[in-house]
Amino acid sequence: MGASQTRTELKYHDLMEKTGFSLEQIKNLHQRFNQLSDNEEMIRKENLENIPALAENPIKNQIIEAFFDKRNQHGNEVGSFQEIGFEQFVMVMSHFRPPNLKTTKEEKQEMRKEKLRFLFNMHDTDGDGIITLQEYRKVVEELLSNSGAMDQDAAHEIADAAMLEVASTNVPQMSPEDHYEGITFQHFEQILKDLEMETRMFIRFLDVDTTTMHCGKATS
Ligand SMILES: [Ca+2]
């Protein structure tokens, strides 16, 4: 075994420890990383902008941003990377690792929370811990404008109505003159409480099937 091969193996095992992915999953992700980065060491936003799997995704921009968002590295850092290496890529993907037979109930809950946090961060674009109406509008507008069926005013109205519903669910005694600041993470968890994440939140994330972590479209 050559020196660089040993280094790669060590890196794989380190990432397995950090993320809970299996060796096979890490190898699959590495293959996908190499495709996405054009066999360079780093992925930049441009690398992700032209992926066919993302082209028709209505929240393409949010998904791309999420890859460079430091909040998704399981640390305490905030802000945005210009480019990410393989380790950072795996850390982002680890939010979507599938449970296996050894996963305990507590671990499943923790995994669910991680996914929710990831989704929350996608909406909380300025990172202040609250999804405001403005931030929420932006996502709704993007969703609707990409479908091409609606103008901005109509999108605004839909976002406002949805937000009002969220507000009244979370603060039942709220009177109309009360100001609703936005959705906190606790609210967000509450809203999605009954959603069965493992089965429903099936995101074919960048062509990676998150239920098996198997990468599609292998070119080699
Ligand atoms: Ca915010």
Cα(138) to ligand 1 centroid in Å equals 12
- Cβ burial of 181 (10 Å; 0-12, 13-18, 19+) is exposed
How many Å separate Cα 67 from the centre of its chain? Answer: 8
Which H, E and C letters describe the chain, residue by residue? Answer: CCHHHHHHHHHHHHHHHHHCCCHHHHHHHHHHHHHHCCCCCCEEHHHHHCCHHHHCCCCHHHHHHHHHEHHHHCCCCCCECCEECHHHHHHHHHHHCCCCCCCCHHHHHHHHHHHHHHHHHHHCCCCCCEECHHHHHHHHHHHHHHHCCCCHHHHHHHHHHHHHHHHHHHCCCCCCCCCCCCEEHHHHHHHCCCCCHHHHCCCEECCEECCCCEECCCCC
Higher pLDDT, 99 or 28: 28
Lowest-confidence pick of 56-70, 109-123, 166-180, 198-212: 198-212
Spacing, Cα 49 to ligand 1 middle (Å): 24
* Cα-to-centroid distance, 34 and ligand 1 (Å): 33
Q: What is the pLDDT of residue 106?
A: 92
Q: Find the domain containing 8 and state its range.
A: 3-132+181-215
Residue 156 falls within a domain, yes or no? no
Taking the complete model, does pTM exceed 0.85, yes or no? no
Q: What is the Å distance from ligand 1's center to 65 Cα?
A: 15
Q: What is the CA(213)–ligand 1 centre distance, in A?
A: 31
Assign residue 57 the CATH number of its domain: 1.10.238.10
Which residues fall inside 5 Å of ion ligand 1, going by CB?
Answer: 124, 126, 128, 130
Return the minimum-mean-pLDDT range out of 28-42, 160-174, 180-194: 160-174
160 located within any domain: no
Percent of the chain topping pLDDT 90: 34
Rounded to the nearest angstrom, the distance between the alpha carbon of 120 and the centre of ligand 1 is 10
Kindly state whether residue 108 falls inside one of the protein's structural domains: yes
Distance 216 CA to ligand 1 centre (A): 34
What pLDDT does residue 188 have?
Answer: 83
Taking alpha carbons only, the member of 139, 27, 29 closest to residue 95 is 29
Q: What is the pLDDT of residues 121-176, one digit of tens each?
A: 988 988 899 988 888 877 777 766 665 556 667 767 777 777 777 766 666 565 65
Mean of the per-residue pLDDT values for the chain? 80
Mean pLDDT lowest among 25-39, 152-166, 204-218: 204-218
Within-domain flag for 146: no
Q: Note whether residue 35 is domain-resident.
A: yes
Q: What's the gap in Å between 131 CA and the centre of ligand 1?
A: 5
Q: Is residue 70 part of a domain?
A: yes
Asked, for residue 61, whether it belongs to a domain, the answer is yes
* Cα 136 to middle of ligand 1, angstroms: 9
CA of 199 to the centre of ligand 1 (A): 28
pLDDT given for residue 149 in this prediction: 56
How many Å lie between the centroid of ligand 1 and the Cα of residue 135?
A: 7
Domain count, the chain: 1
Cα Rg of the chain, angstroms = 19
Question: How far is it, in rounded angstroms, from Cα 93 to Cα 53?
Answer: 16
Q: How far is the CA of 211 from the centre of ligand 1 (A)?
A: 30
Would you state the pLDDT for residue 198?
Answer: 47
**For residue 29, is it within any domain?**
yes
